């Protein structure tokens, strides 16, 4: 997992810490409206593929993320923006980003 200096930590990391779930969720929020895949999240976030896979499963179980079938071999995901919790998270993230 990437370790950021306090100056380079993202807003959510500063609030909730730099754990894998926060980092995965923030990646998805930043890339809202885009389809992504496990390896892409892992590469961009500095997390291991297995950590991202565990976090995605939790987010899928809570319907915050949806899996989009493109092929049998590649699992792709996007935020489930129809979910009420996801809507609240998006609003919270937007508000937190705007606070200095």
Task: Supply the CATH number for residue 88's domain.
Answer: 1.10.10.10
* Cα–Cα distance for residue pair 100/69, rounded to 1 Å: 39
Q: From residue 58, how far is each of 9, 55, 62, 65 by CA, in Å? A: 23, 5, 6, 9
pLDDT band at residue 6 using 50, 70 and 90 as cut-offs:
very low
Domain count, the chain: 1
pLDDT tens by residue, 50-81: 999 999 998 999 899 999 988 888 889 999 99
* Cα–Cα distance for residue pair 34/30, rounded to 1 Å: 9
For residues 85-91, average pLDDT: 93
| Residue 3, in any domain of the structure | no
| Residue 2, in any domain of the structure | no
Tokens of 17: 């810490």
User: Structural domain of residue 31, as residue ranges?
Assistant: 11-98
Q: From residue 84, how far is each of 4, 10, 25, 100 by CA, in Å? A: 31, 24, 15, 26
Half-sphere exposure in the Cβ direction for 11 (13 Å, CA): 13
């Amino acid at each position: 997992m990437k370790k950021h200096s306090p100056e380079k930590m993202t807003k959510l990391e500063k609030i909730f810490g730099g754990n894998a779930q926060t980092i995965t969720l923030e990646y998805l929020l930043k890339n809202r409206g885009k389809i992504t895949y496990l390896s892409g999240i892992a590469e961009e976030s500095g997390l291991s593929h297995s950590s991202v896979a565990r976090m995605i499963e939790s987010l899928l179980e809570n319907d915050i993320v949806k899996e989009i079938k493109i092929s049998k071999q590649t699992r792709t995901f996007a935020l489930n923006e129809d979910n009420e919790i996801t809507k609240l998270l998006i609003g919270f993230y937007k508000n937190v980003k705007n606070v200095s």
